[in-house]
């Protein structure tokens, strides 16, 4: 008997967390189940939109981090 494929299975599939065997079963289910297809499309759309959100730290933040790195490096070399 085939195990029912759930939306949670589709999430694992979308994020590449399924075994080769599971992947095959999920792809078969996706090919024949419109509800799962809709959910998969929704997941992909959400992923694309989330990828569009990119926040960049201010250059000052990166500078502060690099200065801290240099300071801690000097502390180590000075013993």
Partner 1 sequence: MHTHLIPDQKLVVSYLEGNEAALEMLIRRYKQKVMTSIYMLVHDRYLAEDIFQETFIKVIHSLRQGKYQHEGKFLPWVIRIARNLCIDHIRRRKKMPTITDSEGKDVFGYIKVDEPNAHDRMESSQTNSLLIALIEKLPDEQREVLILRHYGELSFKEIAELTGCSINTALGRMRYAILNLRKMMVFSAQRQ
Interacting residues toward partner 1 by CB under 8 A: 7-8, 11-12, 15, 17, 39, 42-43, 46-47, 49-50, 52-58, 61-62, 64-66, 68-70, 72-73, 76
Q: Which residue has the tokens 């569009």?
A: 52
Tokens found for residue 61 = 């933040």
Q: Which is nearer to partner 1, 32 or 52 (CB)?
A: 52
- Minimum Å gap between C-beta 10 and partner 1 is 9
- Minimum Å gap between C-beta 38 and partner 1 is 10
Q: What ranges make up the beta strands (E) of 1-79?
A: none
How many degrees, rounded to 5, is the angle at CA 45 between CA 8 and CA 13? 30
């Amino acid at each position: 008997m085939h195990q029912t494929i759930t939306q949670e299975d589709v999430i694992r599939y979308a994020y590449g967390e399924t075994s080769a065997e599971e992947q095959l079963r999920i792809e078969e289910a996706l090919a024949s189940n419109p509800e799962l297809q809709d959910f998969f499309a929704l997941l992909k759309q959400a992923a694309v939109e989330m990828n569009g959100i990119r926040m960049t730290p201010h250059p000052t933040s990166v500078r502060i981090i690099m200065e801290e790195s240099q300071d801690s490096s000097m502390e180590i070399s000075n013993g």
